[in-house]
Structure 1
Amino acid sequence: MNASDSLCALEIAEHRRRILNKPLSHWNHIDLGYWLTSIGFGFCANEICQKLNYTGSVLLTITEEEIMNAGLPISEDLASVLYMEILLLQIYDCEG
């Protein structure tokens, strides 16, 4: 990891900390992009946001079937991982 990678990782971590303090219903596409990047989905964050028109409000009600049927550029296993991360996010949001 070089200095620019470290800086990028710190920036992503700082954005993640800030957005996790906001209710999901207030998240915008930028917040979602940083969150996706922070959980390892940065390689397809733009496509996920565009194909599903994701905002924080959508994350509150999205189903695994909707993720699987969205035609995302990820395997079925990764789609399941993404859904589990969303479920954790929903729990965190309810507890916050």
Structure 2
Amino acid sequence: MARRCELTGKAVLTGHLVSHSNRKTKRRFLPNLCNVTLQSEALQRSVRLRVTAAAIRSVEHRGGLDGFLVKASADELSPGARALKREIEKKAAAAS
């Protein structure tokens, strides 16, 4: 399983661990991934995703999973989240 947020696309970064003597060794900066279950009001069901803590805050700020996915661009979403976005847009179009 890739260490990548399914909503924001945030992934592992690399850099250097710098010692007091200024020696540089490679290290990895891992995203703070959490397994969460988010509710979708449009689909009337819950969805399990692996997202970062920052993405959880963004979802809450934008008014839930549906609001976040509607505003998010499709190229930064995972294939599963992209399919979820299409389902939500279909429901919204059918309701209108």
Query: Would you say same fold, with TM above 0.5?
Result: no
Higher strand residue share: 2
With normalisation by structure 2, the TM-score equals 0.37
With normalisation by structure 1, the TM-score equals 0.37
Q: Which one has the largest radius of gyration?
A: 2
Higher helix residue share: 1
